[in-house]
């Protein structure tokens, strides 16, 4: 049971953004997509979500072509977590999460007590049940992102596709989101996320897909792919992956740009 | 202050009761005062077909003059407020109003042409209705043909452009019109009034309003999703394009019918959904029914004031503008000062 792309060309009518993409995502794993701005990450993510039709090759969801699922069936399996953006309306966190019940309800269904419970359960899974009545505008960026993840969980989807879930979050909130993604993996969810922080891939990803100019530059297990040479090639400047021994004795790999002037501090 | 979810049905019921009481009171007011008891007897008699035992003049005032007028005010208020709430959701902008698609301008042009050609009252209403739908259709066609990068912005801009085109048409009609008879008639029509609400014309407007409001009520919980980004709504399994078209078509039908009855009454569609949102929160499942009730109440209040405050009637569009403009400025200030 996977979300898989094989020989995929993707893009817009009349404009191919990338081609020959193979990748897969299964339950209980985190895959991270890295690449410079304009490398096609978001367009590929939208194609995998079924929001853009493949321009060639195929995308399969649980062994069936993605396009063959009805929109509702697809939404019950595959959820999108956008970057936390401002809505022009003052929805409460509870209302935002309840929207995740839409794939289960019909077109004309009105909010029911079961939806309320479902949203409540999703909020509790992420430990933010106390935020339910708060306006989505008035919670922190990290909490807003958690609310969007809760909405994705409320759909009942197994596959969660996240577009830069840590973008525009402060350092503490980035770590908070990463910890939650690990917890979701332990619970059997499949998580695919894009990021501009290679350190986030090093920290939680099982596998990494490196995108450059629409195609896959390198892909594989995090340990083997995330090396200095690949990262330097990916971002077009010298980057080193170093090993840091932390105070608590754990060894962590971190990614730093090198060259240029020595540090000030 | 936002009413809690559990208390919302109570508030909605309370608003309905207030509306009924206010409607009853409005029936008693006017140049020919009638007691509440007589109003009740006349209406009850009309419903049951039994004789009311009242003087025929009282029966006539209640049934032929005030009942259509109250019904028209209630329907137009509910229609404009419901359409406003729907447009705001679809265009993802709380500061949008039914005027946005150029529907109002289209209705005005249709009616202007009707007056110019000396059509009957019913035909003028129909012309206004067709003009409004034509404007909406033109906007959607042009927007689809342009295929802008931002579909919603394209639609809004097209609405402004088409609105000004139809506005130019209205100006031309006014210029051509005979300044002694036709020009005043067109001007009065554009200002809006319920004086012309006649029992035989009502079904022509009330039925389309009901037909348009029904899908808006049924789909109201899905309008929440339309107010998200298109990708989010689609990824939640919603047929975004079809749903958006259905909501826009329903709201336009409702607006055109309301305008064809009462003229270009502005501001109700903008201000009332805001009031509903302040009371009930942002969810359209709750905003929509409350908007209908509040819109009906507001319009009835405005029309009652219009026909009782002064010796001559003032157009309701004047009062809604006087009330709406400061409220809009206040909303603008509140929404821009909101902490991020």
Residues of chain A with C-beta less than 8 angstroms from the C-beta of B236: 75, 99-100, 102-103, 155
Question: What count of other Cβ atoms lies within 10 Å of the Cβ of residue B175?
Answer: 9
Position B264 scores a pLDDT of: 79
Position B340 scores a pLDDT of: 44
Residues of chain B with C-beta less than 8 angstroms from the C-beta of A75: 235-237
Residue B190 · residue B266 · CB < 8 Å:
no
Q: Dmax of chain A from CA atoms?
A: 63
Q: Which residue of B has its CA nearest to A139?
A: B340
Which member of A74, A108, A137 has the closest CB to residue B218?
A: A108
Rounded to the nearest 5°, which phi and psi values hold at B229? Answer: -70, 155
Position A116 scores a pLDDT of: 92
Mutate one of A61, A107, A163 to test the B interface: name it (highest B CB count within 10 A): A107
Q: Global pTM?
A: 0.88
Q: Which residue of B has its CA nearest to A83?
A: B232
Residue B250 · residue B85 · CB < 8 Å:
no
Residues of chain B with C-beta less than 8 angstroms from the C-beta of A80: 231-232, 235
Q: How far is CA B133 from CA B15, B112, B115, B252, B253, in A?
A: 32, 15, 19, 7, 7
Which member of A82, A108, A155 has the closest CB to residue B229?
A: A82
Q: What is the 3-state secondary structure (H, E, C) of chain A?
A: CEEEEEEEEEEECCEEEEEEEEEEEECCCEEEEECCCCCCHHHHHHHHCCCCCCCEEEEEECCEEHHHCCHHHHHHHEEEECCCCCCCCCCEHHHHHHHHHHHHCCCCCCCCHHHHHHHHHHHHHCCCHHHCCCEHHHCCHHHHHHHHHHHHHHCCCCEEEECCCCCCCCHHHHHHHHHHHHHHHHCCCEEEEEECCHHHHHHHCCEEEEEECCEEEEEEEHHHHCCHHHHHHHHCCCEEEEEEECCCCCEEEEEEECCCCCCCC
Closest CA to B189 of B84, B303, B111: B111
Where do we find the tokens 């809690």? B4
Smallest CA–CA distance, residue B38 to chain A, in Å, is 41
Mean pLDDT by 10 residues, chain B (340 residues): 78 95 92 88 88 86 90 95 93 76 85 88 79 86 78 78 92 91 82 73 85 95 91 94 89 85 84 90 94 96 91 85 84 63
Smallest CA–CA distance, residue B238 to chain A, in Å, is 7
Position B338 scores a pLDDT of: 54
Residues of B with CB under 8 A from a CB of A: 89, 92-94, 218-222, 224-225, 227-229, 231-232, 234-239, 243, 277, 281-283, 285, 338-340
Residues of A with CB under 8 A from a CB of B: 46, 49-51, 71-76, 78-80, 82, 85-92, 95, 99-100, 102-103, 107-111, 137-138, 155
Global ipTM: 0.92
Please provide the size of chain A in residues.
Answer: 265
Least confident of A46-60, A151-165, B84-98: B84-98
Query: Per residue in A76-106, pLDDT tens?
Result: 999 999 987 767 788 999 999 999 999 988 7
Residue A4 · residue A59 · CB < 8 Å:
yes
Q: Which residue of A has its CA nearest to B240?
A: A71
Residues of chain A with C-beta less than 8 angstroms from the C-beta of B216: none
Q: Phi-psi region for residue A110, left (φ > 0), alpha (ψ -120 to 50) or beta?
A: beta
d(CA B233, CA B226): 6
Burial class (CB in 10 A: 0-12, 13-18, 19+), B88: buried
Position B115 scores a pLDDT of: 87
Q: How far is CA A28 from CA A31, B4, B220, in A?
A: 10, 39, 37
The encoded tokens of residue A209 equal 């897909």
What are A79's strand-pairing partners?
Answer: A160
């Amino acid at each position: 049971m996977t979300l898989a792309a094989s020989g995929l060309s993707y893009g817009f009518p009349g404009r191919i953004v990338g081609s020959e993409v193979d990748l897969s995502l299964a339950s209980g794993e985190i895959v991270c997509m890295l690449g410079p701005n304009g490398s096609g990450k978001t367009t590929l993510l939208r194609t995998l979500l079924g929001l853009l039709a493949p321009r060639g090759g195929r995308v399969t969801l649980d062994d069936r072509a993605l396009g063959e699922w009805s929109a509702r069936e697809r939404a019950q399996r595959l959820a999108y977590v956008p970057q936390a953006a401002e809505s022009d309306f003052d929805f409460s966190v509870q209302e935002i999460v309840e929207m995740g019940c839409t794939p289960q309800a019909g077109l004309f269904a009105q909010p029911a007590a079961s939806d309320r419970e479902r949203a409540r359960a999703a909020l509790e899974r992420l430990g933010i049940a106390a935020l339910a009545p708060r306006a989505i505008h008035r919670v922190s960026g990290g909490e807003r992102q958690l609310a969007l993840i809760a909405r994705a969980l409320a759909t009942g989807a197994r596959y969660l596709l996240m577009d830069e879930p840590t973008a525009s979050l402060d350092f503490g909130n980035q770590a908070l989101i990463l910890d939650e993604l690990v917890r979701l993996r332990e619970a059997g969810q499949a998580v695919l996320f894009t990021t501009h922080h290679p350190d986030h891939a090093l920290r939680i990803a099982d596998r990494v897909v490196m995108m450059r100019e629409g195609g896959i530059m390198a892909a594989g297990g995090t340990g083997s792919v995330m090396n200095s040479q690949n990262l330097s090639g990916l971002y077009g400047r010298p980057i080193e992956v170093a090993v840091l021994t932390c105070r608590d004795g754990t060894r962590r790999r971190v990614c730093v740009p090198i060259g240029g002037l020595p540090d000030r501090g | 202050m936002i009413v809690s979810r559990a208390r919302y049905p109570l508030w909605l019921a309370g608003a309905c009761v207030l509306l009924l009481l206010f409607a009853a009171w409005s029936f008693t007011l006017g140049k020919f005062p009638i007691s509440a008891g007589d109003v009740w007897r006349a209406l009850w008699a009309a419903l049951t077909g039994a004789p009311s035992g009242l003087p025929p003049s009282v029966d006539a005032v209640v049934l032929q003059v005030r009942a259509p007028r109250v019904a028209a005010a209630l329907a137009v208020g509910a229609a404009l407020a419901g359409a406003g709430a729907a447009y705001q959701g679809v265009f993802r902008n709380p500061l949008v109003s039914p005027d946005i698609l150029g529907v109002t301008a289209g209705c005005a042009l249709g009616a202007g042409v009707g007056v110019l050609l000396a059509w009957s009252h019913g035909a003028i209403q129909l012309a206004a209705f067709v003009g409004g739908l034509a404007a909406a259709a033109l906007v959607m066609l042009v927007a689809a043909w342009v295929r802008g990068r931002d579909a919603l912005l394209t639609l809004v801009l097209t609405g402004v452009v088409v609105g000004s085109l139809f506005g130019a048409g209205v100006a031309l009609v006014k210029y051509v019109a005979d300044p002694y008879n036709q020009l005043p008639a067109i001007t009065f029509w554009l200002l809006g009034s319920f004086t012309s609400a006649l029992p035989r014309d009502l079904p022509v407007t009330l039925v389309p309003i009901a037909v348009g409001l029904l899908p808006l009520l049924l789909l109201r919980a899905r309008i929440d999703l339309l107010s998200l980004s298109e990708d989010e709504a689609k990824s939640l399994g919603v047929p975004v394009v079809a749903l958006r078209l259905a909501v826009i078509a329903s709201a336009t039908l409702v607006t055109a019918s309301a305008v064809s009855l009462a003229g270009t009454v502005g501001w109700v569609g903008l201000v009332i959904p805001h009031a509903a949102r302040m009371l009930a929160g942002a969810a359209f499942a709750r905003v929509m029914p409350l908007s209908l009730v509040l819109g009906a109440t507001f319009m009835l209040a405005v029309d009652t004031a219009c026909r009782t405050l002064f010796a001559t009637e003032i157009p309701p569009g004047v009062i809604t503008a006087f009330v709406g403009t400061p409220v809009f400025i206040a909303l603008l200030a509140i929404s821009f000062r909101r902490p991020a």
